[in-house]
Chains A and B, each alone.
Chain A
Amino acid sequence: MLSLLEQIDSGTLWQSPGGIHPPQIKSLSNTRPIARLPLAQEYVIPVPQLGEQAILAVNIGDLVKKGTPLTQGQSATYLAVHSPTSGILVAVEERASNHASGLPVLSCIIQADGLDTWSLLDSHQDFQPLSNAEMLTRIQAAGIAGLGGAAFPTHIKLNPVSDIELLIINGIECEPYITSDDRLMREYSHDILTGVSIIQQLIGPKRIIFAVEDNKPDAIKAIKKALKRHPINSAQIRVTAVPTKYPSGGEKQLIQMLTGQEVPSGAIPAQLGMLVQNVGTVFAIKEAVLDGKPLIERVVTITGERATTPGNYWLPIGTPIEHVLSLSQTPKKPPQHIIIGGPMMGYILPQASAPIIKGTNCLLLPSDNEMLVEQQEKPCIRCGECAQVCPALLLPQQLFWHAQAKEYDKAASYNLQDCIECGCCSYVCPSDIPLVEYYRVAKSALREQSKDKQEADLAKQRFDARTQRLEEEKTAREAKQQQAASRRKANVTNKDNDVIAAAMARIKAKKDSSPSTQEITAENTAIAHTELAQKTDKKAQIAAALARAKAKKAQMATALNTDITSPEKAQLNANEGAITHIPVTDSPIVDKKAKIAAAVARAKAKKAQMATAQNTDITSPEKTQLNASEGSIAHIPVIDSPIVDKKAKIAAAVAKAKAKKSQMATALNTDITSPEKPQLNASEGSQRSITQTPVIDSPIVDKKAKVAAAVARAKAKKAQTTAAMQPQDRVTTENQTESSSEQTPVTDSLSIERPVLDKKAKIAAAVAKAKAKKAQAQQENKD
């Protein structure tokens, strides 16, 4: 029993099953040397990886040279893209793709300047001194992808995880019509062999087979001749003529013919210790590693009966196919189809504006009677010819039935995934059934199904995780609430009286107009500014009224507290809105101001309650609730301003009336009523006069302003029933006021120091409760 390598050395060839012998028609294009076409005006280079794995390396409007990289990327699968000519990058936009679907894909548009000047190339005399990593980097930087059609990044393929024993250079080109590899092998055989030696140095295979189909005797001759003169170790390399049969150029089929082995389903040849490289790719590797040239052009066969000058051309990647057609197509009946690739596996291009891409090896321009006669699908007569020609040994008939019946699972059980879409079955089908199309649809449906399944699994997983999390949060919250409740109970029993007493004492002290030492600074300054002691009586009255209002609110708050399970803080904040300004009302400056404050506070409090109500059934970060209350807090200091005009007073009165009236209406509605506007104007005016020290850094202000704006927008949205103009007005005014009001130190301290705020809120709540009790007592007294 000979080993595999010995058998290969002895020239053994194996049979691959199936296959067909379509007419070759290669002589149409392989007689002329590879030529060039004039430059196009515009080049369209698809950059599908942009935004995912790559970023733009040049700016729009920049001048790019031939070979300038257009994108940058870090990931392993990143495939570099270069400018195919010199010119200006005019746009990055979606253009029709060179794909069977023709769907638009993100592309770089380069306006050629016609000079075609190269960027600086980093060329090497010799590749031997280069390390493997250096060579791979150069290959990756050159953006080399498999030129056989699959366009798989070559630097990944050349960096296999397992040892490669056998390197196969694929010069088969089994598709009819195509001759690009044929011409390349004839004209650049030496360079190709250099490329082979580069790969040899990279992966160190034991044997190299240069496989060429026996219908290309000239190419075989050229390679053999070059091999004699080339420094490459010719003992290791073997040029094998493979009998002509379609699809022997398929990677798996070629391996079977050359080694008798089968690549296991779902595996890659590297697992068998084999590597297959297309000759075009090998040439590109040589260009990249030695000359430093990126992959910006390739040989494309232009052929078919409609082509005026069939042959092979060096076409820059990104050349619009329209441009090629204008130069090489018989201008007759323009809307005729173009086939990209060969007649067996190529696809019809939906849009002629699509560019040449790295995998485009042929532009086939067939005349109407050459191929694709309109054929009607007839019933399958189960002749079984398809199964005879299938190189993957599948049962195309069964696959077809299941695919047609949309039983994709069953089709998959007949190994649909192993279909290489070579088209042999459709070729021999006497009933003209487009079998390959059915398989493609079935394959994509299967892909879709598995994707949907994956997504559903993921969704379920995430949903379960979320449900669990919510459950945990709920129990944690309940525990906390219980704790808080017990603490409150303790507080009520022990300290309530003390608190009330303390509050009473404080109020009394204020009545005596002796400034309390424990008031906040703002209040202190306010007191320092004024000596209106004679208004103390009035002030007391106000305080009483306020307390009454507070009592009501506090009651409501407590009611909510018991009913709903929302975080307490929301209510606390609501209270806080009202309570924080108690010192303000206490301040002896202006009673009117106090009134306004009261009204506003009430409105705000209601709003805050609304917010809490909305939040009752949801559990969200505490900040959400704070949001609602913060707005109200922000307002209060504004009213602190010493200048108060009549307008504000009126507004306050109206607001109060409204507030009372619309108990059933939502607090937000009250908010929307126009009276607030003058008041805001007033505060705006006042704002200007205040000279505050700008302690706050601007970003915070900006952000807050934004938040405020959004809040305003939200309000506007809710006030859609009111006049169309009104909300807009309000948005602007309120926007201004709120943003300006943020600058008061009180707000700042509140919003910055959360723990402090919470604490304060709690204190405030306690105070409110105390007040409420007091007010109740007062009321009872009155009654």
Chain B
Amino acid sequence: MAFKIASSPHLTQHNQTHTVMQRVLLCALPGVAVQCYFFGFGSLIQIILAISVALLCEAAVLFLRKRAIKSTLNDNSAMLTALLLAISIPPLAPWWVIVIGTCFAIGIVKHLYGGLGQNIFNPAMAAYVMLLIAFPVQMTTWVAPNSIALHPVGLLQSIQYIFTHMPQASIDSYQLGVDGISMATPLDTVKTSLSSGLTMQESLQNRIFADGLPVGWLWINLAYLVGGLAMLKLKLIRWQISVGVLCSLFILSSIGFILNPDSHLGPLVHLFSGATMLSAFFIATDPVTAATSLKGRLLFGALIGILVYVIRTFGGYPDAFAFAVLLANLCAPFIDYYVKPRAYGHRISH
């Protein structure tokens, strides 16, 4: 009588990779919903497009790499990457933007480095940066929030815009944000205003801000914050990275605001505009590309926050999470190397 042998432990918890990814996706839903509410169905279409392209692309790459296709697709990681990329790009960006971006994220950033767990850069952010540099116009033509838009975009219209072309007005109309559909993001608006000699107070007078806070973006960020807290509650992520990001961003922006409120955005604007909450909870916390130890993660998060503030304030780009995350990704192995926990029984005092 002989038995099959397996190593201990024979018990495991049932939190597996695919369920983790699935739950992260679910936690992103409130944010996605709010984003759709403010910017129309464009984001939804982009998400569907991105997910299908991501799955196809992953299947193709796995086929080429001669790996198990079904089980790998089941881990939901490609879906999450696609979702994050899709909600990061402008909702009405042409279809090929998201297709190229997704293929780049999955095929190059993820699989060329060895697939899930092996990539050094966050695939969604790497793809976002690639798109931003390759297609700057398409990537900065954001949509005006529905509440203040002259012509809110419907579902069919969105499909039409995405798959044919956007009735693109001239660059200046987009600059002024008067064509009724496209509009610069709040951070972009501020940057443009500041560079054209306006003070911060004047910049915030733009109709994209209400009471000094960005219209729509505030709610989107709050929704992602809720999703992020849910993830913390579900123990899908640890608090270190998110807290690191938000705290460093908050502290730096507060210091800047106190020192010179005329040229610096307030901490609340920093926290609730752009991709702050999305990045702090959903993007920077990607375990594959982050530091691993708890202390390391706190450092990793803080580094992202600092970089974001520096680029937002002094750099040439209005929002900086993609760059900050990628730069921090580069530093992750370095952080891991120097922030090793002391193993049991290795206390120096003995």
Contacts and interface: CB of A to CB of B under 8 A. Distances in A.
Question: In the complex, is A directly touching B at CB under 8 Å?
Answer: yes
B3 A348 contact: yes
B66 interface: no
Interface stretch (B85-93, B140-148, B211-219, B335-343): B335-343
A176 B8 contact: no
A713 interface: no
> Which of B11, B16, B341 has most A Cβ within 10 Å?
B11
> Which of B290, B340, B344 has most A Cβ within 10 Å?
B344
B294 interface: yes
B344 to A, nearest CB: 4
Interface in A412-446: 415, 418, 421, 423, 426-432, 434, 436-437, 440
A23 B118 CA distance: 33
B298 to A, nearest CB: 12
Contacts of A348: 3-6, 10
B206 interface: no
> Which of B4, B10, B17 has most A Cβ within 10 Å?
B10
Contacts of B192: none
Given A382-B288, A423-B9, A430 B20 contact: yes
A432 B13 CA distance: 9
Contacts of A375: 12
A589 interface: no
Interface in A308-353: 322, 334-339, 341, 343-353
B113 to A, nearest CB: 12
> Which of B1, B118, B346 has most A Cβ within 10 Å?
B1
Nearest to A266: B345
B8 A17 contact: no
Interface in A464-480: none
B154 interface: no
Contacts of B19: 430
Given A348-B3, A382-B117, A265 B344 contact: yes
> Which of A20, A380, A436 has most B Cβ within 10 Å?
A380
Contacts of B350: 262, 264
Contacts of A341: 8
Contacts of A335: 1-3
Interface in A660-701: none
Given A397-B292, A436-B9, A378 B342 contact: no
Contact of A372 (B10, B17, B288, B346): B10
B287 A383 contact: yes
B293 A427 contact: no
Contacts of B71: 376, 378
A592 interface: no
> Which of A346, A381, A395 has most B Cβ within 10 Å?
A381
Nearest to A334: B1
Contact of A371 (B4, B11, B288, B340): B11
Contacts of A273: none
Nearest to B236: A383
Contact of B292 (A20, A351, A382): A382
Contacts of A432: 12, 16
A263 interface: yes
Contact of B8 (A256, A336, A436): A436
A382 B289 CA distance: 8
A382 B346 CA distance: 24
A468 to B, nearest CB: 43
B11 A379 contact: no
Given A322-B1, A348-B4, A348-B5, A391 B344 contact: yes
A267 interface: yes
Size class of the B contact interface (CB-based, 8 Å): 35 or more
A437 B5 contact: no
Interface string B114-145: 01111000000000000000000000000000
Contacts of B10: 339, 343-344, 346, 348, 364, 366, 371-372
B188 interface: no
Given A338-B3, A344-B9, A434-B7, A384 B287 contact: yes
Contacts of A8: none
A372 B1 contact: no
B347 A427 contact: no
B294 A388 contact: yes
A381 B2 contact: no
A344 B344 contact: no
Given A384-B287, A394-B343, A418-B344, A350 B11 contact: no
B343 A418 contact: yes
A22 interface: yes
Contacts of A256: 344
B341 A387 contact: yes
A342 to B, nearest CB: 8
A352 B2 CA distance: 7
B196 interface: no
A431 B8 contact: no
Given A262-B350, A265-B344, A383-B20, A427 B3 contact: no
Interface residues of A, number: 70
A388 B13 CA distance: 15
B179 interface: no
A366 B58 CA distance: 39
Nearest to A418: B343
A180 B288 CA distance: 43
> Which of A335, A393, A430 has most B Cβ within 10 Å?
A430
Interface string A265-284: 11100000000000000000
A252 interface: yes
B262 interface: no
Nearest to B337: A398
A654 to B, nearest CB: 67
Contacts of B342: 393
A469 to B, nearest CB: 45
Nearest to B11: A343
Interface in B318-350: 340-347, 350
A51 B344 CA distance: 39
Interface string A179-208: 000000000000000000000000000000
B170 interface: no
Nearest to B117: A379
A344 B8 contact: yes
A349 B3 contact: yes
Given A430-B15, A430-B17, A252 B9 contact: no
Interface string B270-300: 0000000000000000011010111001000
Nearest to B296: A384
Contacts of A20: 13
A441 to B, nearest CB: 9
A766 interface: no
Given A335-B1, A348-B3, A392 B344 contact: yes
A337 B1 CA distance: 10
Given A262-B344, A348-B3, A378 B13 contact: no
A428 B15 contact: yes
Given A176-B11, A347-B8, A379-B117, A415 B343 contact: yes
A418 B16 CA distance: 27
Given A381-B116, A387-B292, A395-B341, A345 B347 contact: no
Nearest to A378: B17
A252 B350 CA distance: 15
B11 A381 contact: no
Contacts of B117: 379-382, 431
Given A337-B3, A387-B292, A343 B9 contact: yes
| 5 smallest beta-carbon distances between A and B, as pairs | A423-B9, A437-B7, A265-B345, A379-B117, A392-B344
5 contacts: A265-B345, A343-B8, A343-B11, A364-B10, A383-B20
Interface of B: 1-13, 15-17, 19-20, 71, 75, 77, 115-118, 238, 287-288, 290, 292-294, 297, 340-347, 350
Given A343-B10, A431-B117, 11 more contacts: A20-B13, A252-B345, A265-B344, A343-B11, A346-B8, A348-B3, A387-B294, A392-B345, A415-B346, A427-B13, A432-B12
